[in-house]
Amino acid sequence: MSESQLKLRYLLDQLTNNEITRAEFDELFALVNRGEYEEDIKALLLDGLSGDPMPEVMERERLNAVLNGIMMIRPAEQDRTEARVRQMIFWKRLAAVAAIVLLIGTGIWFGLIRTPKTDLVTNTPKITLTNTKDIEPGGNKAILTLGDNSTIVLDDAANGQLAQEGSSKVNKTRDGLLSYSLPTGGEGHGEAAITYNTLSTPRGGQYQLVLPDGSKVWLNAAASIKFPTAFAGNERKVEITGEVYFEVAKDPKKPFKVTIPGGAAVEVLGTHFNINAYDDEPAEKITLIEGRVKVGRGQRAEGREESVVLEPGEQAIVSQSSHLSQPIPVQTEDVLAWKNGLFHFENVDIKTVMRQLSRWYDVEVEYKGVIKTEPLFIEVPRNTTLLEVLKVLETTADLQLRLEGKKVTVL
């Protein structure tokens, strides 16, 4: 064995025994990042690293889980400035890598875990199943309410033109996208021809929409958007509930405005941004990805509007007490994880995690006993079944969960 291979064996041994130091992990990351040692890693894992024999059960996906897991941890730390936060994220993300490998390995982390010194990884998930089946993840499901209050269930509707609303043709495309198209020349036949439609996703649903002006909209589970079938006049205005991501078509002559039930409003000319405004969340969050937006919050007692301007990478928070925060920097990839097919939880509590899971899997959540308050660091694909997600959650958060029918109990 070469010196590099011996070093790789030692570092992987340290990783699987949960004894790796920060400096050692940085060295392991550098080796993996060079892309020269994939076969060596595979061979070492199959050999059991420390010499314990194991059967030839390694699949390609499992090797990728190790490599991708290692690569996932290090970059997420680079933008952190506070040492204590960096250290916490390092070890919590390491637990997340172990959980991913545990998940793909169907309950065994390659057979390599040998009595860890901490309870970071366990070979036997504690989750309890009671007369129930696993629950599949959500998908493209939505209901379109037309101007005459008739409805179309989009997941059952055939592709092609669904309706004629005012001057707009309503179409469902092959890839499950809802789009509105105006006749050549613009905005149809004036305001008399405009009606309002509402697109709503159920719990366990998501959907994409192209508005009459070409703006693109993504709806998360249990969300809605009300919009005109053509944007007449000198502005474009829509109303939303839940979580919605926008890529607004530029039109300097017509500002794009989004109103939220809690009273907040977002005004843009052309930009990309995300709004999280669920009723069961403690606050409304508006995050700017690209461009520039103004976030306003109703009328203050003295008659002046409260507002802030966001730059890319900033977020405004409107609390339940109607206070509008000053812009704060955020990791936009974390905010958009849902749109990109991920559950990404970083430094959040168990209730925040379970609110998202309950909406995506359409389940009820019940808490018993003392609720843990330790911050969680988890990333799991949204196309994963609920049981698999709960296994990862138990492994990384030292929780005990029970899945019974459509109810998850946190014990």
**Beta-ladder partners of 264:** 297
Q: Are residues 249 and 348 in the same domain?
A: no
DSSP for 268-327, written as a single string: ESS-EEEEEE-TTSSEEEEEEEES-EEEEEEE-TTS-EEEEEE-TTEEEEEETT-PBPPP
Q: Are residues 159 and 200 in the same domain?
A: yes
Please choose, from the candidates 352, 346, 342, 345, the residue with its C-alpha nearest in 3D space to the C-alpha of residue 383.
Answer: 342
Q: Is 134 part of a structural domain of the chain?
A: no
Q: Are residues 73 and 200 in the same domain?
A: no
Q: Are residues 279 and 393 in the same domain?
A: no
Q: Is 284 part of a structural domain of the chain?
A: yes
Q: What distance in Å separates the CA atoms of residue 207 and residue 58, rounded to the nearest whole number?
A: 37
**Which has more confidence, 130 or 144?**
144
pLDDT in tens, 95-118: 444 444 444 443 333 322 222 333
Q: Is 307 in contact with 294 (CB distance < 8 Å)? A: yes
Q: How many CB atoms lie within 10 A of CB 110?
A: 21
Supply the pLDDT for residue 98: 47
Assess whether pLDDT exceeds 90 at residue 376: no
Q: Is 108 in contact with 123 (CB distance < 8 Å)? A: yes
Q: Are residues 357 and 292 in the same domain?
A: no
Q: What distance in Å separates the CA atoms of residue 183 and residue 196, rounded to the nearest whole number?
A: 18
Q: Are residues 301 and 320 in the same domain?
A: yes
Q: Is 65 part of a structural domain of the chain?
A: yes
- End of a domain among 287, 320, 335? 335
pLDDT in tens, 197-232: 999 999 999 999 999 999 999 999 999 999 999 998
Q: What distance in Å separates the CA atoms of residue 226 and residue 244, rounded to the nearest whole number?
A: 12
Q: Are residues 301 and 218 in the same domain?
A: yes
CATH code, 346: 3.55.50.30
pLDDT in tens, 168-202: 899 999 888 999 988 765 554 455 567 999 999 99
Q: Are residues 96 and 238 in the same domain?
A: no
Residue found under tokens 């192209």: 210
Please choose, from the candidates 396, 407, 406, the residue with its C-alpha nearest in 3D space to the C-alpha of residue 125.
Answer: 396
R_g of the chain computed on alpha carbons? 25
pLDDT in tens, 141-177: 999 999 999 999 999 899 999 999 888 899 999 888 9
Q: How many domains does the chain have?
A: 3
Provide, rounded to the nearest whole percent, the portion of the chain with pLDDT above 70: 68
pLDDT band at 299 (very low <50, low <70, confident <90, very high): low
User: Which of 28-42, 86-100, 101-115, 332-346 shows the lowest mean pLDDT across its residues?
Assistant: 101-115
Q: Is 117 part of a structural domain of the chain?
A: no
**Beta-ladder partners of 161:** 171
- End of a domain among 104, 123, 152? 104
Q: Are residues 181 and 224 in the same domain?
A: yes
Strand residue runs (E) in 66-204: 128-129, 139-140, 143-145, 151-153, 160-165, 168-172, 177-181, 196-200
Q: Are residues 306 and 359 in the same domain?
A: no
Q: Are residues 306 and 161 in the same domain?
A: yes
pTM given for the model? 0.72
Query: Amino acid letter at 92?
Result: K
Instruction: Report the SS3 class of residue 9.
Output: helix
Q: Are residues 216 and 230 in the same domain?
A: yes
Domain that holds residue 69: 3-104
Q: Is 378 part of a structural domain of the chain?
A: yes
